Each structure stands twice: as C-alpha cells, then as structure tokens.
Amino acid sequence: MWKTVLAGTTALAIAGATLAYAQPGPAGHERAQRWRPNAADITAFGDARIAALHAGLQLNAEQQKKWPAVESALKDIAKQRAERFAARASADKPKTPVERLALRAQVMTERGTALKKLADAAGPLYDSLNPDQRHRFMVLARLGGGVGHWRAQRGWHGHDGWRHRGPGAPGRGPQPQ
C-alpha cells in the first residue's frame, strides 16, 4: 500500500512541477513567470514528504510504535513553515537591519525548538533502524548523504559558484566525482 502512496505522491509532484513550469507568461514576456507555492502547497508537499519517508522506511511492528512521535514533530515543522510563509507574504518587510536581525533570531529560535523536538522523537526510531533503513532515512529526510545533501553542499548540478576553478586550483581541495 505504501508503495502505491509513494508512487502516487511522486507522480503528483512531477505532474505539478511540469504544469507549473509549462504555464505561459503574460503577453510580451519571453519567459514564463516563476511559480511560487502558496501555504497550501507547502503543507501538501510537506505531508507528501512525510508519507514518502514513512513508506520508504518500511518499518516493522516494533519500529512502527515509535513513528507517531516522529510524524508529529515533522508535521509541526511543516505547519510552522507554512505559517511562516503565509505571515511573510502578508507582512511588511523589515525596514532596518536590526528589525531583520530580530526577525531572523525569532525564526531561528522557533525552528530550533521544533528541530529539538524532532531530534528527541527521531532518536529512538533511528536507533532501531537497520543499515538499509538508516540509509533510506538519510536520503529521504535529506539529512546528509544522498542526492539532497550533495545538492545542498555543492549547489545545483555541482556548481558552487566557482565554476572556473578546477580541483587543483589554489584554495580548493579535491572534488568528489
């Protein structure tokens, strides 16, 4: 059943991204306007990622008992993100660097609290996972390793802003292949 949910979620994400990209722009514009998700989109994509993580882990009965706390923490983070997105869309931008700093500090504090809750909930579940499940956890949760981590570290298609400097250039270590 979870494979069906995962396949459906993946198909929906691909179809949605394709349709969003293919939308024509206003007359006279050569490129389509960039699609921006709304709060409902962010919530839906968050729920899909949680479902994909759950399906991909293929938890046994004992591990399944530890999942609700993790799911709750993940949903709290997704809800917090959607609320932040909605608030940012309707609020005035901070006018001074100090206002931006205070807003950023507030967001980081809230996010830190939510991440601590997730870490506390995920610890027992992660400790019970076998090596294959742990690998899938890392890739699906984008917490390191796998494609998501590589893109976060090296940028889209491996570009990190230094395209013209090769592996042997000064100040650069060897590049992973």
- For residues 104 and 110, what is the distance between their CA atoms, to the nearest angstrom? 10
First and final CA of the chain: distance in angstroms? 37
Q: Is residue 74 situated within a structural domain?
A: yes
Q: Which residues contact 20 (CB under 8 A, 6 or more apart)?
A: 35
Q: Is residue 20 situated within a structural domain?
A: no
Q: Is residue 13 situated within a structural domain?
A: no
Its pTM stands at 0.59
* Domain count for the chain: 1
Q: Is residue 163 situated within a structural domain?
A: no
pLDDT digits (tens, 9 = 90+) for 41-76: 888 888 899 999 999 999 999 999 999 999 999 999
pLDDT digits (tens, 9 = 90+) for 78-134: 888 888 888 877 778 888 999 999 989 999 999 999 999 999 999 999 999 999 999
- For residues 143 and 23, what is the distance between their CA atoms, to the nearest angstrom? 32
Q: Is the pLDDT confidence value at 18 over 90?
A: no
Domain span at residue 107?
38-153
Q: Is residue 14 situated within a structural domain?
A: no
Q: Is residue 135 situated within a structural domain?
A: yes
